[in-house]
Amino acid sequence: MNLPTLRPLVILASFAAITLAGCGSIESAAQDDCTSIGWQIGSKGYNECFKARVYERKLDYSLPPGDQPSPSVI
């Protein structure tokens, strides 16, 4: 491959890597939610908050009942 053809591919791959690095996990987002409202990690209230937030986020990111994932174009 010549350099002009390779350059856009490298730029796109770099952008994708940077974007994905900024994504956190469901668990880290739930931890941030619970600590931001004042719960101390390890306390009973924190543990309940954490479990509830993880459950809520998993529901938010799950497919609706009966919906099938579509195949990727890539």
What are the pLDDT digits (tens) for 38-58?
Answer: 999 999 999 999 999 999 988
Could you tell me if 54 and 27 are in contact, meaning their C-beta atoms sit under 8 angstroms apart? yes
What distance in Å separates the CA atoms of residue 43 and residue 10, rounded to the nearest whole number?
46
Could you tell me if 30 and 57 are in contact, meaning their C-beta atoms sit under 8 angstroms apart? yes
pLDDT digits (tens, 9 = 90+) for 6-31: 676 666 566 555 555 545 788 999 99
Tell me if the pTM is above 0.85.
no
Query: Quick check: is 8 in a domain?
Result: no
Query: Quick check: is 73 in a domain?
Result: no
Range of the domain at 37: 23-62
Query: Quick check: is 53 in a domain?
Result: yes
Query: Quick check: is 15 in a domain?
Result: no
Upper half-sphere CA count for residue 2 (Cβ side, 13 Å): 1
Q: How many domains does the chain have?
A: 1
Query: Quick check: is 27 in a domain?
Result: yes
